[in-house]
């Protein structure tokens, strides 16, 4: 095991008192054992810190970062990334759960892949309720729990731009040296995944693992439930972050085909702005559309 790569799991917690112990135990219970654990609490106002400290009594080698103010996911993750030692990184929300063979399958994919410049591997996820009941799967599966339509692998830059293939971010493992090269998450954004997928896929490959690797918990304030809320401050922050991501992607694009792919995502974001009555944001997209078209 000492010859196998060190994997750092960064567990980000914000008001996850009901779930954080289960999330941390799912790291300990991995079949792959060469793991570094970093827990980072983003100024929770519930009993999360107390729960984490209780758990740490049995696992004192884990690192614990406590923010003195609420910094948000991107800044908190980057704080943890700076003190990480692993060759590979997992970003685990404290309300999600790794299946026991998750890291073993991810590492085996990295070590045995024939793909050059492989930066990220990702798989499927089971979506569960706050009470741990099954809801569905991130990618639809057949009776053998294999995906019906395989997500993209390899050079997936255009697929991400156009949304023709979605990445299950919670099931991913990232090569640390690539994250460092990209300066980690963009701290100007209120969420991280779309931006990091676009920036990574510009120069690196992804590989899909056809296995269920994690259990993702669906809660009332999950990111996916916030896109279409009207007159909601968090919704505005999220959707305006998407605008910044699209602006950055335009700068990365090199071909007309890539611009055409990005137009599909831009129209999706314009629809969100329209449906949430964020007229200012909707108008800001118009010059970007003209730039992509002409």
User: What tens digit of pLDDT does each residue of 175-203 get?
Assistant: 999 999 999 999 999 999 999 999 999 99
The reply to whether 262 and 284 lie within a common domain is yes
- From 163, 193, 223, the end of a domain falls on 223
The reply to whether 207 and 80 lie within a common domain is yes
The reply to whether 174 and 242 lie within a common domain is no
The reply to whether 108 and 241 lie within a common domain is no
Q: Is pTM, for the whole model, over 0.75?
A: yes
Phi, psi of 276 (to 5 degrees): -95, 5
Q: Report the C-alpha gap between 239 and 242 in whole angstroms.
A: 5
Q: Report the C-alpha gap between 228 and 104 in whole angstroms.
A: 37
Say if 1 falls within a structural domain: no
The reply to whether 55 and 188 lie within a common domain is yes
Instruction: Dump pLDDT digits (tens) for 36-78.
Output: 999 999 999 999 999 999 999 999 999 999 999 999 999 999 9
- Integer distance in angstroms from the first to the last C-alpha of the chain? 55
- Per the structure, the complete domain to which residue 246 belongs is given by 226-293
The reply to whether 179 and 282 lie within a common domain is no
The pLDDT confidence band at residue 15, using thresholds 50, 70 and 90, is: very high
The reply to whether 216 and 244 lie within a common domain is no
How many domains does one find in the chain?
2
């Amino acid at each position: 095991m000492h010859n196998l790569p060190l994997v750092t799991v960064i567990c980000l917690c914000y008001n996850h008192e009901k779930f954080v112990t289960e999330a941390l135990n799912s790291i300990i219970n991995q079949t792959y054992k060469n793991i570094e654990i970093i827990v980072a609490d983003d100024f929770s106002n519930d009993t999360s810190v107390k729960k984490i400290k209780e758990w740490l009594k049995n696992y004192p080698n884990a690192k614990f970062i406590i923010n003195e103010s609420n910094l948000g996911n991107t800044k908190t993750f980057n704080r943890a990334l700076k003190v990480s030692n692993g060759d590979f990184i997992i970003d685990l929300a404290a309300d999600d759960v790794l299946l026991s063979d998750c890291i073993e399958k991810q590492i085996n994919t990295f070590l045995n892949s024939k793909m050059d410049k492989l930066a990220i591997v990702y798989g499927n996820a089971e979506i569960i309720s706050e009470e741990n009941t099954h809801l569905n799967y991130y990618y639809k599966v057949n009776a053998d729990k294999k995906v019906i339509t395989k997500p993209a692998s390899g050079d997936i830059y255009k697929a991400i731009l156009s949304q023709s293939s979605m990445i299950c971010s919670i099931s991913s493992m990232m090569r640390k040296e690539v994250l460092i090269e990209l300066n980690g998450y963009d701290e100007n954004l209120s969420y991280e995944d779309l931006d990091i997928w676009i920036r990574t896929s510009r120069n690196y490959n992804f590989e899909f693992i056809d296995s269920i690797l994690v259990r993702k918990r669906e809660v009332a304030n999950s990111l996916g439930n916030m896109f279409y809320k009207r007159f909601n401050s968090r919704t505005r922050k999220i959707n305006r972050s998407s605008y910044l991501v699209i602006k950055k992607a335009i700068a990365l694009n090199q071909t007309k085909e890539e611009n055409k792919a990005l137009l599909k995502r831009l129209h999706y974001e314009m629809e969100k702005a329209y449906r949430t009555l964020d007229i200012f944001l909707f108008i800001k997209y118009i010059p970007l559309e003209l730039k992509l078209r002409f």
